[in-house]
Structure 1
Amino acid sequence: MTHFEISTHIAAAPQRVFDVSLDVDVHTSSMAGSGERAVEGVTAGRMPLGDTVTWQARHFGLRWQMTPCISAFDPPGYFVDEQVSGPFKQWHHAHHFERDEYVSTLMRDVIDFAAPLGLLGTLAEAVMLDRYMPRLIRVRNEHVKATAEATVGGTSSSVGT
């Protein structure tokens, strides 16, 4: 099992960052490099508690599908998505949003995952996934940051304004 945490400072209020982080369209655009798209469940807009979305993407030259569910939800403090079907033996992603000392948001991702296939999966985690997954989350977070900060200074966006 792999555990990692990533912190991102965002110059926007926690509610704004929370809303942007739950937006399917923002997620889709953040993962354009892997061609990720929503193919079932909630395919546009913001996801509430209990909702699922099936993502389809290409990673490592292979097409994957993963369906997470929003399993915990306490706006604007946190939400959790957990895999209900997909490539991992286990996937648990807790998203935390805290006002920081600069009247911005500290967004903290806490991720625990395990690859399937026993020893082979453990080897895949050590060789590839332990580096690949944090890099993927950082790319997503930079997009969330840019989107959430887009409304600061009087501009607007269609997400959670």
Structure 2
Amino acid sequence: MPLIELTTVIHAPIERCFDLARSIDLHKLSTEGTEEEAVDGVTSGLIGMGQHVTWRARHFGVTQTLTSKITGYEYPVYFRDEMVKGAFKRICHDHVFESSGDDTIMKDRFEFESPAGILGVMANKLILERYMRELLTKRNAVIKEVAEGEMWRAVLSRR
């Protein structure tokens, strides 16, 4: 099962980074090009413990839906989202936040399992691991840019 781990240092308070990471509106900003939209559950603002969101997006030319639920939550240091319905066999994404002086260290631990047995394993190695890493890296860059600038005020005002 592929595991992607990323660390991003953000010059902003931990609470701001935590809230941006669970913002549906920021997620939409970070997925430009995939026509991604929240279509059920929490569709704007901040998602919290026990809540779910269903996303519809276009990846590899195919429109797909994926529902994830927040299954772990400790403000402002940790939350977990897990796929409960979608094309993958399994997705589990841990978000961990640590304060370090005036910075926040944001860590992602993203595990996924593709369906289709050996074909899924081959797809992981050939395409999906790199594709998912790029999506997460882009998302983290957007969180960093928004958190370190003034745009965070507009994004988080949509609570």
Q: Please, what TM-score do these two structures have when normalized by structure 2?
A: 0.94
Task: Report the CA distance between 1:8 and its aligned residue.
Answer: 0.6
Query: How many residues matched?
Result: 158
Q: Report percent identity of matched pairs.
A: 39
For residue 74 of structure 1, what is the aligned residue in structure 2?
74
> Any gaps of 5 or more consecutive residues in structure 2?
none
Q: Which runs of 4+ in 1 moved over 2 A?
A: 155-158
In structure 2, the residue corresponding to 1:34 is in which secondary structure?
Answer: coil
> Letter of the aligned partner of 1:117 in structure 2?
A
**Aligned equivalents of 1:55 and 1:76: distance in 2?**
24
Report whether the alignment pairs 1:17 with 2:1.
no
For residue 142 of structure 1, what is the aligned residue in structure 2?
141
**Aligned equivalents of 2:41 and 2:27: distance in 1?**
14
Q: Please, what TM-score do these two structures have when normalized by structure 1?
A: 0.93
Task: Report the CA distance between 1:103 and its aligned residue.
Answer: 1.9
> Any gaps of 5 or more consecutive residues in structure 1?
none
CA RMSD of aligned residues (A): 1.6
**Aligned equivalents of 1:156 and 1:90: distance in 2?**
34
| Cα offsets for 1:31-83 (capped at 9, x unmatched) | 01211110111101001100000001111111111000000000110100000
Retained in 2: the 8 A contact 1:150–1:156? no
> Letter of the aligned partner of 2:28 in structure 1?
T
In structure 2, the residue corresponding to 1:12 is in which secondary structure?
Answer: coil
For residue 55 of structure 2, what is the aligned residue in structure 1?
55
